[in-house]
Amino acid sequence: MGYFFIKHIHMTAAGLSLALFSLRAWWSVRESPQLQRRWVKILPHLIDTVLLAAGVTLMFMLRAWPTQHPWLAAKLVGLVAYIVIGTLAIKRGKTSSIRAVASLVAIAIFLYIVGAALSHHPWSWWMRF
């Protein structure tokens, strides 16, 4: 499989991941029963696994390691933060307002990761200013 094919899978999975997270976060804030649907509990994890596996594959194909490339390290740290705050948004947040704030923070972190990927720099979108 070629590099650009896997990169395409990685980017598509990133888009789907953000879309599904936003939908689940919205349902979580509204306390919608939709959140309990079977596909809603399975599909996002499947897509996130593809996103991570494709990212790690690209890293090996490029032989670029987080210890040498701060933007990769920033992506990994960002991913952990996104997961921790994401579970606060969807599961662990006790009130709707906590879940709403956590959702916005998680989406902001996700966008930071996309910026770090595009600019190849931990300053992410701020590289452009």
Instruction: Report if residue 80 touches ligand HEM, rule: CB under 6 A.
Output: no
Classify residue 69 by its DSSP letter.
Answer: -
Residues touching ligand HEM: how many (CB under 6 A)? 21
Instruction: Report if residue 99 touches ligand HEM, rule: CB under 6 A.
Output: no
* 7: helix, strand or coil: helix
* Closest to ligand HEM by CB, 29 or 48: 48
Minimum distance of ligand HEM from residue 103's CB (angstroms): 15
- By CB under 6 A, name the one of 103, 117, 122, 124 that touches ligand HEM: 117
Instruction: Report if residue 107 touches ligand HEM, rule: CB under 6 A.
Output: no
Least Cα distance to 102 among 10, 46, 25, 35 occurs for: 25
CA within 13 Å, CB half, 40: 15
Instruction: Report if residue 114 touches ligand HEM, rule: CB under 6 A.
Output: yes
CA distance 26 to 48: 18
Instruction: Report if residue 14 touches ligand HEM, rule: CB under 6 A.
Output: yes
Q: Please identify, among the stretches 27-35, 36-44, 99-107, 108-116, the one whose residues bind ligand HEM according to the rule CB under 6 A.
A: 108-116
Q: How many helices (H) and strands (E) does the chain have?
A: 4, 0
